[in-house]
Amino acid sequence: MINHWCYEIEPWCLRETELDLDVLAQSESVFTLSNGHIGWRANLDEGDPHGIPGSYLNGVHELRPLPYAEAGYGYPQDDQVMINVTNGKVIRLLVDDEPFDLRYGELHSHERTLDFRTGLLRRDLEWSSPSHQRVRVTSTRMVSMVQRSVAAIRYEVEAVGQPVHIVVQSELVANEPLPTSSDDPRESWVLEAPWQAELHDHEGARCALVHRTTLSQLMVAAAMDHVFEGPPSVNLASESRDNLGRVTITVALEPGERLVLDKFVTYGWSSERTRDALRDQVDAALSSALVKGWDGLVAEQREFFDDFWARADVEVDGDPEIQQAVRFSLFHVLQAGARAERRGIGAKGLTGTGYDGHTFWDTETFVLPVLTYSAPSTVADALAWRHSTLAIAEERARVLGFAGAAFPWRTITGAECSGYWPAGTAAFHVNADVADAVIRYLNATDDRSFESNFGLEILVSTARLWTSLGHYDRQGGFCIDGVTGPDEYSAIADNNLYTNLMAQCNLTGAADVAERNPERAHEFGVDEDEIAAWRHVADAMVVRFDEEHGVHEQAERFTSHQRWDFAATTAEQYPLLLHFPYFDLYRKQVVKQADLVLAMYRCGDSFSAEEKAANFAYYEALTVRDSSLSACIQSVVAAEVGQLDLAYDYLAEAALIDLGDLQHNTRDGLHIASLAGTWIALVGGLACMRERSGSLAFAPRLPNGITRLAFGIVFRGRRLRVETTPRATTYSLTAGAPLELFHFGEPFSLSEGGPVVFETRPVEESLPTMPRPTQPFGRAPARRLATKPDQLEGT
């Protein structure tokens, strides 16, 4: 576990006041800088010691054959694995010929600060060499949100107390050795030395390396250049070879004198462009960065983040830890998608190689909702990437014997990479999740150009999948059999409720968009009969209800299965998938992650308030949260059914998953979907924001311990701000045309003329009082209020 004592709780930054080498890999993840195109883990400048070296480019991968003891028709043949690219972070320091290494000499102080407002990672330290030569080092690192291909470091060394002779070696390093992998399937498979050298050169303070992968045949170019200032005695030399470019700076410093080095690093990659073209590309990016200079890059970075926070900030009063966590979460979600630009957003973003860097349904269901209402242009790019993979998805559907498109369970390029078909191929709900993200984006932006050029074709292809995948039963109901829903502990089930309801929304949405774009729909072969068929299937979709238990069934006959023996399961046996066979999990009532509960959030109009409360209580007793995707959704529905304290508990679990290393695998990268879930739990849960008839509806309530919640939303070209306290909720339009919203079902108009204020309704006014649901033995979330007695008084 990450020790909380080394992280200060501050509203706008994450500050590490001591360096703990035992959790170095975790800290490398949480302090990662990225722009969605470049990802730099927070390895120490000097390279050693390190947990997991990490420099990534979105989409850069190597192939790995998938071994099968018994292969079958339609099985994917290759995996795609995100790999470490050329490392441009390394700046080694020698003090009077002794290498700066935190494990030797004496470290007097060490502090790292990630500033959410500027996007800068700053490191301040003082160190004495074994021969007692003391230096002060300040390093400030950035990955530019504006210059997509640029990252930069300002590195400063100051002599303290006596003269020193220093050598600084700034490097580009390829084919770094990596730690070995474990048996945990959530970790990345390590590929040793995946790069073949194509070119290396150097001139003055500039070096460049070009490499190609062996199997995927992707070419990557990296270049660096430097600007420095210091005493006149500074000497510079450069060199390069296959896997190394190095610029060496030598200088003597008197006490108080400093060497200031600005290092600019640029990247480019392609599967088609030539070596020379890539080299020219990174040189041009370097030239642009040098013209801007360090100060110019920092200024435009701050302007970028100022604009983001002005429209998207979330304020939480009463719980400083959650306040810090939600900004930490928004910062990393933005980093994951800001400049991804028609590439996938992986489950770990570009913070580590957990899950091999693959993109899952997490993106559309958890990450894109946040970006839709805060940075919508990034969502258009993410969905345009899905559209670019349609041909692969359509071929996959054809191989499986279906019409339309079958999007992959896990992928980098669009090809299916899951070798375990019950959790991969059978999880057809990913197609509805993609469609749901398209529909949400269109409702939130009214982007008709995207609708015509990208959205319609995605919706048509996914709708066609459902009509060919399902069938009508004898009673005329439409059934979808043999699929796996979000709960991966219940595979190959008939009529998974989440899948059926999301398919229903997909079909209806496709019909609506096709009718709005008849000529464009005709180009895809859509006619009135097909649209009518989609609507008929949607109307006939089977939804199973268990009258005996008074709840909906997660899937056909699920509530009649034997319950898992939770009392006999020890804390050390979670997550269950690492200690029990899937065969046993599949045939028991045990839920890995919110499934039917997620359906109640995404398809809430399909349930009454009473059904939601009964369903939530029943499935709470079965859900073990072996997935990081669960807590935020349980928080949302807990809030909706009036369990505000429980919603608070789950909110904290989602928010602190990486700051507290709650799943013990933050070292492999951040849980981007759970971090996005922090926003979902606050805005979708406590504020109860829902899409409604082309508008937004709210029903805010706060738990004890949170005294105020305020957040910004971007919607159809407007910017609005919602602020709620235990006494009142205030809606303000900060930019854009008047807008109609709903407050507890009551419509009202909002304009820039002034805010609209409502009294906050108490829970008991609209919801029946219900006892707190129970969870499986040993799996209840940590009680948030029990650890915060100082904040209960006066709330």
CB burial class (10 A; 0-12, 13-18, 19+) of residue 22? exposed
pLDDT at 188: 60
pLDDT at 598: 98
pLDDT at 183: 60
Strands (DSSP E) contained in 577-703 are: 588-589, 690-692, 695-698
pLDDT at 790: 46
Integer Cα distance of 65 and 68 in angstroms: 10
Strands (DSSP E) contained in 90-218 are: 91-95, 98-99, 106-115, 120-128, 134-143, 150-160, 164-173, 195-203, 206-213
Q: Which of 171, 176, 488, 653 is catalytic?
A: 488
Identify the H or E element spanning 758. strand 756-759
pTM for the full model?
0.96
Q: Give the torsion sign (CA, 55, 58, 62, 64).
A: positive
> Which tens digits make up the pLDDT trace of 435-480?
999 999 999 999 999 999 999 999 999 999 999 999 999 999 999 9
Integer Cα distance of 69 and 518 in angstroms: 49
| Cβ–Cβ under 8 Å, residues 259 and 230 | yes
pLDDT at 795: 30
For the chain, how far is it from start to end, CA to CA, in angstroms?
32
Which ranges of the chain have pLDDT less than 70? 1-5, 180-190, 764-768, 786-795
Instruction: Give every CB contact of residue 276 below 8 A, 6+ residues apart in sequence.
Output: none
pLDDT at 259: 98
Supply the Cα-derived Rg of the chain in whole angstroms. Answer: 27
| Secondary structure (3-state) at 528 | helix
Q: What are phi and psi of 720, to 5 degrees?
A: -125, 160
| Cβ–Cβ under 8 Å, residues 720 and 750 | yes
| Secondary structure (3-state) at 157 | strand
pLDDT at 186: 54
Identify the H or E element spanning 735. strand 728-735
> Which tens digits make up the pLDDT trace of 268-318?
999 999 999 999 999 999 999 999 999 999 999 999 999 999 999 999 999
Integer Cα distance of 559 and 545 in angstroms: 10
Integer Cα distance of 427 and 559 in angstroms: 21
Q: What are phi and psi of 727, to 5 degrees?
A: -100, -40
Nearest CA to 133 out of 111, 109, 160, 155 is that of: 160
| Cβ–Cβ under 8 Å, residues 418 and 76 | yes
Integer Cα distance of 376 and 301 in angstroms: 19
| Secondary structure (3-state) at 434 | helix
Active-site residue flag, 488: yes
